[in-house]
Amino acid sequence: MTRSSISALFILLLTASLAFAGRTACPQFYVDGVAPDFVNRKLTPKTRQLCNDGYGVEHSGLTRTPLWAAERLTRDGLQRAKGLPRVNSFRPDPRLPVSERAELRDFARSGYDRGHQASLADQHTEASRDQTFFLSNMIPQDSDNNRNLWEGIETAIRNETKRRGELYVLTGPLFQGNQIQSLKGRVMIPTGLFKAVYDPARREAGAYVVANAPGMQYQVVSIAQLEGITGIRLFPSLSAKIRNNAMRLPEPRTYQQRRGGNQ
Amino acid sequence: MSKFTPYADESASIEIGSLTVENRLDRVSIFGSIDLTKDQEGLALVLALKELIWEVASELEGMESAGVLPQEVEVEQTVTIANPFK
């Protein structure tokens, strides 16, 4: 085989793998319209893609949680998100088979919060805000983490979006270690969470990684590092240079810290 | 707040200012922060908050009078399973 036919084959294979990775019914939430792809093939059974008005979800019937939620945040969208009244209902996702989905009773009396992956406050229509309350968008999340560190990370990303103009965001759970805790043997409790972002204007990306536990400890990692943890190729269309360099991300602060009060 | 009946379901969630209120069978969770400003908005918010707190209190007091309020709620133990992705 000649050198040029080898490189032609390589390009063909690369295109084929991107074509596979890119299969999504809601390309508007993904960088270059290309959805993440599974590197760890054990993640693939019982996965289903769900498209909502304001975000896309890859749901796993093994964990009964999302594996990621995808959003494209813009300054304009977030400005429109302000001041909407909120009366909402957590509920199972009727689009999922009963055998694969979480039910409200799974979370009952567990002590765990139902943690949004696509954040409610990112959404700017009544319908899209309502759709963040599907359990297909929820993980069992430590309540201190959900209400303090994670809320701080969500707020930091919204502030970065207002500053930069546009960010693609992927949010999801981490399942590390040989054993996992679960609610009733049905809904897997993530060991951690990630929030990965890409700034298309500055062509830089990075991610927050936190344990699903109390406290304010977090890490900022590159997309390549995060892909090593998740087994998911998160932004398949980005160059190696962007994937290997973690962008600077702001320190998440709780609402008390943001208001200048004491912790 | 007709839809929010404390402890009746795992579904209802309301926002009072920037406070989030979530209904659970074993608890009502309230988190976030709020300014009760000395104006019309502050009055509306504090009345909503007062109604919520009153409803929670009357439910718990009713259970206490009936002798069915436990000393402490029991949280269900989690179940250990093998990581299917390993």
Residue A4 forms part of a structural domain: no
Identity (one letter) of the amino acid at A30?
Y
* Rounded-to-integer distance, Cα A107 and Cα B9, Å: 11
- Structural domain boundaries enclosing A240: 11-258
Residue A212 forms part of a structural domain: yes
Instruction: Count interface pairs A-B at CB distance under 8 A.
Output: 95
Residue A2 forms part of a structural domain: no
Would you say A207 and A220 are in contact if contact means Cβ atoms under 8 Å apart?
Answer: yes
Q: Edge-to-edge strand order for the sheet containing B12-16? A: A87-89, B12-16, B19-23, B28-32
H, E, C per residue of A36-69: CEECCHHHCCCEEEEECCCCEEEEECCCCEEEEE
Q: A15 pLDDT exceeds 50?
A: no
Residue A252 forms part of a structural domain: yes
Q: A11 pLDDT exceeds 60?
A: no
Q: The CATH number of the domain where A153 resides is what?
A: 3.40.570.10
Residue range A83-117, pLDDT digits in tens: 556 679 999 999 999 999 999 999 999 999 999 99
Which structure tokens are listed for A115? Answer: 């943690």
Q: Which residue, among B25, B27, B47, B26, has the nearest Cα to B36 in the 3D structure? A: B47
CB–CB contact A180 B81 (8 Å)? yes
Shortest Cα distance, chain A CAs vs residue B3, angstroms: 8
Query: Catalytic residue among A59, A116, A233, A253, which?
Result: A116
Q: A79 pLDDT exceeds 90?
A: no
Strand extents, DSSP E, A52-165: 56-60, 65-74, 87-89, 113-116, 138-141
Q: A82 pLDDT exceeds 70?
A: no
Residue range B46-66, pLDDT digits in tens: 999 999 999 999 999 999 999
Residue A112 forms part of a structural domain: yes
CB–CB contact A183 B29 (8 Å)? no
Instruction: Calculate the CA B29 to chain-centre distance.
Output: 4
Total Cβ atoms within 10 A of residue A182: 19
With 0-12 / 13-18 / 19 or more C-beta atoms within 10 angstroms meaning exposed / middle / buried, residue A212 is buried
Residue A220 forms part of a structural domain: yes
Nearest chain B residue to A254 by CA distance is B32
Q: B38 pLDDT exceeds 90?
A: yes
Q: B12 pLDDT exceeds 90?
A: yes
Q: A167 pLDDT exceeds 80?
A: yes
Residue A6 forms part of a structural domain: no
Q: A7 pLDDT exceeds 90?
A: no
* Rounded-to-integer distance, Cα B36 and Cα A58, Å: 40
CB–CB contact B74 A109 (8 Å)? yes
Shortest Cα distance, chain A CAs vs residue B6, angstroms: 14
Q: Is A59 a catalytic residue?
A: no
CB–CB contact A108 B10 (8 Å)? yes
ipTM of the complex: 0.94
Would you say A25 and A19 are in contact if contact means Cβ atoms under 8 Å apart?
Answer: no
Residue range A190-222, pLDDT digits in tens: 999 999 999 999 999 999 999 999 999 999 999
Domain count, chain A: 1
Residue A92 forms part of a structural domain: yes
